[in-house]
Amino acid sequence: MLKIENIDVFYGNIQALRDVSIEVNEGEIVTLIGANGAGKSTLLKTISGLLKPKKGKIEFLSNSIAGKQAQIIVKSGISHVPEGRRVFANLTVEENLELGAFLRKDKAGINSDMQKVYEIFPRLLERKKQHSGTLSGGEQQMLAMGRAIMAKPKLVLLDEPSMGLAPLMVKTIFEVIKDINQDGTTVLLVEQNANMALSVASRGYVIETGRVVLSGSANDLQTSEEVRQAYLGGH
């Protein structure tokens, strides 16, 4: 579904990604793990058009999207849930969700997806008329994910969905990631909590200082001595 070949990405003169190649097949949950500043978020931003690669190829459903404008990439079926949630604080929960469906014209479909989001996140239904800036961190994360679902994406890019959340809320968010995947949405997940990420993913890539240094099935990565010592707190 998504194929990235040998991309280089720079912030000014600083190279953030070097010769990165990954692929995501339809129906998978693929996770990117690595330390802070390794380039994981940069990779998601490059896929969604917020950054342009200096070289290399990015193909989504066999069409090249490298360097295309973000709104064109959203239209092609990719939604990005950014790190730090980025909800529109002065708009209500419902208005945030409506913005997720900004490019859609199918009124009935939009309404039924809105109901679906409220079923997945009953807390959002209770707060639908509340300004989203007044929500807790966990509720804002639910809203950011709900907003992405409203775009009816084929592929969702999730950047650090568990960051700063209480353990119980982390569990809820990961249950939802599994649910939306089972519902037919492919997921590319960046996550500091490598244990959690590998427990839901089918495959993963380890990124260090802008390069992919390891890839394999989630199970292989979970049992790899190297990965355990570096990211899973194993000895």
pLDDT tens digits for 184-210? 999 999 998 898 999 999 999 999 999
154 burial via Cβ count (<10 Å: 0-12, 13-18, 19+): middle
In order of start, what are the domains of the chain with their CATH numbers?
Answer: 2-231 (3.40.50.300)
31 burial via Cβ count (<10 Å: 0-12, 13-18, 19+): buried
Segment 161-188 shows an average pLDDT of 89
Segment 28-33 shows an average pLDDT of 96
Residue 132 DSSP symbol: G
Predicted confidence at residue 93, as pLDDT, reads 95
Predicted confidence at residue 218, as pLDDT, reads 96
d(CA 31, CA 8): 20
